[in-house]
A and B are shown apart, each in its own frame.
Chain A
């Protein structure tokens, strides 16, 4: 099987690759969202601890 044939998917290229692309986007998005939430939360917490340490 050559590469062009592989991407052609026997004429179903649009359906097959759209389905896989959607899956990849959704799975990647769900990894990124909690990571960003986490780094935002960690920064916020660190800042609030710093502030409460300043005024004992």
Chain B
């Protein structure tokens, strides 16, 4: 097991294994998205209070969950990178940041589009919304910091510390609807006793959440793969991908048939 992780953490093996995983993850993501959209937009009945507007939930809630998940995942990767000095952890963390920021943006924007018809306002400075906005700034701060530092190692260290300090915001976001009297509704799925949401709505929500999760893993592997190739461009195994300078085998050293134009 340990040996497997060691092997995986070597850039060459990561490049190969990620290349194999991406098409499968991508395909599964697409299937889940289609199923989730069908169940969420067509099968699920309208809400008795919010009518059809509640359907925004199926993109809003998974986006918000992902904005939190990616942050915690990045914090774990940053800790691994700082403690054990594993380059791949740094690559995965920095490849996650843009996605985290985009999911946070989506959570805020779709929340705003849901808030307007339900609360009568695009934005209110309540605890949940404000703490989620701070999360967006943490992501943007990380991206700016990492891209401003030339040396990758130093950049990863500085960014890692920023992310780890910002972790305090995560429980604040999660419990904000319980600690403060917010306009944002309380949790309906993660309640310990019994989710207060009907199965016909819960099922598409969970499927969409899984689709978002797999989408993240697909895209983060795609990004990390490019990053690894870029960082390792002077090493032997990358040079070997381009026999006599042709693109033919570069991306497909593990695949039987594929054209260089149609990259996974």
Interface assignment of B202: CB less than 8 Å from any CB of chain A: no
Contact between A42 and B52, CB atoms less than 8 A apart = no
Residues on B with C-beta less than 8 A from A47 are 245
Residues on B with C-beta less than 8 A from A27 are 215
The main secondary structure of chain B at its interface with chain A is helix
Interface assignment of B46: CB less than 8 Å from any CB of chain A: yes
Q: Within the assembled complex, what's the spacing in Å between the Cα atoms of A47 and B238?
A: 13
B61-98 contacts to A, CB under 8 A, are 63, 98
B107-128 contacts to A, CB under 8 A, are 109-110, 113-114, 116-117
Q: Within the assembled complex, what's the spacing in Å between the Cα atoms of A27 and B99?
A: 9
Contact between A19 and B113, CB atoms less than 8 A apart = yes
The residues of B with any CB-CB pair to A shorter than 8 Å are: 41-42, 46, 51-53, 55-56, 59-60, 63, 98-99, 102, 105-106, 109-110, 113-114, 116-117, 215, 219, 222-223, 225-226, 229-230, 233, 238-239, 241-242, 244-247, 250-251, 260-261, 263
In the complex, 12 of the A-B residue pairs with CB atoms within 8 angstroms, ordered by the A residue number, are A6-B42, A11-B51, A11-B52, A12-B53, A15-B56, A15-B113, A15-B116, A16-B113, A26-B102, A41-B226, A47-B245, A50-B244
Residues on A with C-beta less than 8 A from B261 are 39
Q: Within the assembled complex, what's the spacing in Å between the Cα atoms of A36 and B29?
A: 21
Closest to B233 in A: A45
Closest to B33 in A: A27
Task: A35-B222, A47-B245 given; name 9 further pairs at CB < 8 Å.
Answer: A9-B53, A11-B51, A12-B51, A16-B53, A19-B56, A41-B229, A45-B233, A46-B246, A51-B245
A55 CB to closest chain B CB (Å) equals 12
Most buried by B among A23, A42, A51: A23
Closest to B216 in A: A30
Q: Within the assembled complex, what's the spacing in Å between the Cα atoms of A50 and B59?
A: 46
Contact between B63 and A12, CB atoms less than 8 A apart = no
Residues on A with C-beta less than 8 A from B244 are 49-50, 53
Closest to B103 in A: A26
Residues on A with C-beta less than 8 A from B60 are 19
Contact between A20 and B246, CB atoms less than 8 A apart = no
Q: 5 shortest A-B CB distances, which residue pairs?
A: A50-B245, A10-B52, A12-B53, A49-B242, A9-B52
Interface assignment of A4: CB less than 8 Å from any CB of chain B: no
Residues on B with C-beta less than 8 A from A37 are 223, 226
State which of B105, B109, B222, B238 has its C-beta within 8 Å of the C-beta of A19.
B109
B232 CB to closest chain A CB (Å) equals 10
Contact between B59 and A19, CB atoms less than 8 A apart = yes
- With A22-B109, A26-B102 in contact, do A41 and B247 touch (Cβ < 8 Å)? no
State which of A12, A45, A46 has its C-beta within 8 Å of the C-beta of B117.
A12
Contact between A49 and B239, CB atoms less than 8 A apart = yes
Residues on B with C-beta less than 8 A from A23 are 59, 63, 106, 110
